[in-house]
Amino acid sequence: MALPKAVQQQLEEADRLVAGINGEKTGEDSSETNPENQQVDPSLEQTQDPPENNQQPDNPVSQETKPQEVPDEKWAHKYHTLKGMYDAEVPRLHSQVREMQTQIQQLIADKATVEAKVAEVPKVDSLITDEDKEAFGPDLIDLINRATESKVATLRDREAELLSKISKLEGQLGNVEERQGISDKDRFLMGLGQQVSDWEKINVDQGFLTWLQEVDPVYGIPKNVALNSAYENLDVSRVASIFNAYKQLVEPAAPVAPVKRQQELQRQVAPTRTRSTSQPNDNMDRPVFTNSDIEEFYTNWRRGYFTDEEAANMEQ
């Protein structure tokens, strides 16, 4: 590290004085040994008697100023301020870039459409022949051309206006189709939730995903293909039937009604018949269902444990 300028000057001055003192001593020694050769060196006199104004400053070493330390709190505040500005600015810039990219793509598509239409316009040969020009003269032919061009220009403006309206209507129609598609999907999910309340849980079950890879024995295609086809068509019944078919495999089917067990209990509880009984009671042979049995029956029906035809036979 370089010394301060004042310190460097003082060191040089000290070296010069030391060199002068050493030279004076050497001269004295030589004069003592050879008294006849003693001569006074003017430069030594000047060295021995330095000027009075060559005085060292009281504070020769200048202290270097140290940078003022900034507290950590100020740095943290500055960091959070810049981070907030960054978080607010970057999403806006991304949005602007996306909008500009969309506009550029739209302009490119419009340019391609216009170029295609211009290329499709056939070149029409002039209907005015040389004979017509000779018969009617160039002045009349020029008048006809100018009148025709004026009429065509009006039709071109009308065509551009109609094309602009058609473009706007196509955009509105696309938005309507998009909203209609979203609405149909919402209705599909609502209907699926009504038929299979836990379909979202089943849809991420690993066992269900493995089961979908199996080939359906009836249709000969993987079950996931059938499920994707039904979902794309928003067919609630088909999607629900696939979920219910898997649930029948993993959930044991509850008995519809313990008919035989109830009949056995009724025989044990029924009083002993006597000879005076003339006609048997037909109600003893019919099963008796409680409210819980009936509710369980309709619940199993909704879950798809049996078909509508089987359920109709059971109701009879």
- C-alpha torsion angle, residues 198, 202, 203, 207 (rounded to 10): 180
Half-sphere exposure of 51 (CA within 13 A, CB side): 3
pLDDT, tens digit, 9 for 90 and up, residues 220-263? 888 888 898 888 888 999 999 999 999 888 876 555 555 555 55
The total number of residues written for the chain in this structure = 316
Instruction: Identify which of 284, 282, 293, 290 has the alpha carbon closest to the alpha carbon of residue 266.
Output: 284
Specify the pLDDT at position 278. 47
Q: What is the 3-class SS of the chain, one letter each residue? A: CCCCHHHHHHHHHHHHHHHHHHHHHHHHHHHHHCHHHCCCCHHHHHHHCCCCCCCCCCCCCCCCCCCCCCCHHHHHHHHHHHHHHHHHHHHHHHHHHHHHHHHHHHHHHHHHHHHHHHHHCCCCCCCCCHHHHHHHHHHHHHHHHHHHHHHHHHHHHHHHHHHHHHHHHHHHHHHHHHHHHHHHHHHHHHHHHHHCCCHHHHHCCHHHHHHHCCECCCCCCEHHHHHHHHHHCCCHHHHHHHHHHHHHHHCCCCCCCCHHHHHHHHHHHCCCCCCCCCCCCHHHHCCCCCHHHHHHHHHHHHCCCCCHHHHHHHHC
Report the C-alpha gap between 189 and 226 in whole angstroms. 17
Q: How far apart are the first and last CA of the chain?
A: 109
Dig out the tokens for 49 from the structure.
């008697």
Report the C-alpha gap between 142 and 150 in whole angstroms. 12
Q: Hey, CA dihedral for 301, 306, 310, 313, is it positive or negative?
A: negative
Contacts of 288 (CB under 8 A, 6+ apart): 262, 266
Q: Is 121 left (phi over 0), alpha (psi -120 to 50) or beta?
A: beta
Instruction: Identify which of 294, 302, 297, 296 has the alpha carbon closest to the alpha carbon of residue 197.
Output: 302
Q: What is the pLDDT along the chain (316 residues), one digit of tens a residue?
A: 556 677 677 778 888 887 877 765 555 555 544 544 444 444 444 444 544 444 444 444 445 555 566 566 777 777 878 877 787 788 888 888 888 888 898 888 888 888 887 766 666 666 777 887 788 888 888 888 888 888 888 888 888 888 888 888 777 676 656 555 567 788 888 889 889 988 998 999 898 999 998 888 877 888 888 898 888 888 999 999 999 999 888 876 555 555 555 555 555 544 545 444 445 455 555 666 677 777 777 777 776 776 777 777 776 6
